[in-house]
Amino acid sequence: MISLSEVQERIFGSVRRLESCEVPLRDALGLVTAVDIVAGEAVPPFANTAMDGYAVRAGDTEGASPGSPVRLAVVAELPAGMGPTTPVGPGEAIRIMTGAPMPGGADAVVMVERTEPAGDGAVLVHEAVGAGTHVRPAAGDLAPGDLVFPAGTVLGPAHLGVLASIGIRDAPVVRRARVGVLSTGDELIEQGTLAPGQIRDSNRPMLLGLVADAGIEAVDLGSARDDESIIRRTLEDAFASCDAVLTSGGVSVGDYDYVKAAIDRIGRLEWQQVAIKPAKPLAFGMVGERPVFGLPGNPVSSLVSFELFARPALLQMMGHERRFRPVVPAMAEHAMHRKPDGKLHLDRVRVELRAGSFRAARTGDQASNVLSATAAANGLALLPDGDGVAEGDPVDVMRLDWPADH
């Protein structure tokens, strides 16, 4: 058996970063900036008000209070989206709406809640304000030439808003990977009545969901019978348009080597026996510069293999520096026994925060074919080789519900 870290190192050293491109902001969520983003214009482009109220000269409000208001003549009204045409003179005010540009002569805004109409086109100001009160200065957020986001930034919703604010409509990013998912096996069906020896294909929907959840374009390659020529043709078609392929099934010792035989005709594939449980069997190879991951057929093993090997490798291809699920310290709610076997065990657990610390409890049967226990889990407890942990002992947990840590 090979250690987890050694297998990961081999895989991550084989995959290449995808090329850069420009994509519309609406398609850039979750992608990584390929270059430094520098502001080409100011945000905001002009000084504007942060409040509905009155644009004034701060000096004109000196001494104003609810018991002794200051009376100012209202000379204009300025909504957002309109440029100012009337300046504010001494003893004057302009009714102004949030986001509207500050008119000439004004250096502060009095909130409308601190005023009252006085009649005859005047307003009573009940609060003294200093210069700059409720005024957003031009370039207060970003100035031309500012570094907005360095290369390698993962674009979230707020990042997209910032890019829009500086006039960028197409983001320079490492392009999104396109990953095909293929199930293999004569025993698999999707619908209809099960014949003797048949099972439903649960791996492919799960893996398609895992790929999409990682921000990667998932391509459904369907199911292929245990026939080398069919698998080879399916893979050839897939690699013509996909950056990587995931297969499930046919990687355990003693299985028919249809996937390996098919890939060996168009690339190379190597079996690995990883010192982990579940997911000990793994196949990894390259077709040209495109990786192929042969994941185990047992659904839990397939999911664990994806999380440990495929997901971080695919994120690396898309330029992500933070690729691994975060690991948090937790306390075992109950004993998690295991037998020494030279492997790292990854038990499905539910993690909850209680009294300021994480508590982890197994979600059910830990057999590699029991997918229902995985659906109830939000983490994998990492149990080093040995006898496991006792109730109340510390245990590290990989959080499956948190995106990335490092």
End-of-domain residue from the set 278, 295, 317: 317
* Full-model pTM: 0.90
pLDDT in tens, 256-314: 577 888 888 899 988 889 999 999 999 999 999 999 999 988 899 999 999 999 999 99
Instruction: Specify if 60 maps to a domain.
Output: yes
The enclosing domain of 203 has a CATH number of 3.40.980.10
Whether residue 251 is predicted with pLDDT greater than 70 in this model: the reply is no
- Is residue 80 pLDDT above 80, yes or no? yes
Judgement on whether residues 116 and 131 belong to the same structural domain of the protein:
yes
In a domain? residue 132: yes
Identify whether residues 244 and 283 lie together within a single domain.
Answer: yes
Residue partners of 139: CB distance under 8 A and separation at least 6: 42, 43, 44
Asked if residue 159 and residue 107 are part of one domain, the reply reads: no
In a domain, 405, yes or no: no
Most distant CA atoms of the chain, gap in Å: 95
**What per-residue confidence (pLDDT) applies to 342?**
97
- Domain count along the chain: 4
Residue 406 lies in a domain: no
What is the per-residue pLDDT for 276? 98
**Pair 151, 169 in one domain:** yes
CATH number of the domain that residue 106 is part of: 2.170.190.11
Residues 166 and 275 placed together within one structural domain of the fold: no
Residues 353 and 242 in one domain: no
Residues 26 and 168 in one domain: yes
Q: What is the pLDDT of residue 129?
A: 98
98 lies in which domain range? 48-136
Confidence at 201, pLDDT banded by 50, 70, 90: confident
pLDDT at 359: 98
Same domain, 166 and 239: no
pLDDT score of 254: 56
Last residue of a domain, one of 120, 149, 174: 174
280 and 202, same domain (yes or no): yes
> Would you say residue 250 has pLDDT above 80?
no
What is the C-alpha separation between 73 and 2, in angstroms, rounded? 82
Q: Is residue 404 part of a domain?
A: no
Does residue 88 belong to any structural domain of this protein?
yes
210 and 312 together in one domain:
yes
**CATH number of domain containing 336:** 2.40.340.10
Q: Final residue of a domain: which of 111, 136, 161? A: 136
According to the model, what pLDDT value does residue 347 have? 97
Is residue 357 in a domain?
yes
Is the pLDDT confidence value at 400 over 90? yes
* Cβ atoms of residues 216 and 196 within 8 Å: no
**pLDDT, position 208:** 97
Co-location of 168 and 194 in the same domain? no
Closest CA to 292 of 264, 315, 325, 269: 269
Q: Is residue 191 part of a domain?
A: yes
Question: Which CATH number belongs to the domain containing residue 153 in this structure?
Answer: 3.90.105.10
Same domain? For 189 and 257 the reply is yes
Q: Residue 315 pLDDT > 70, yes or no?
A: yes
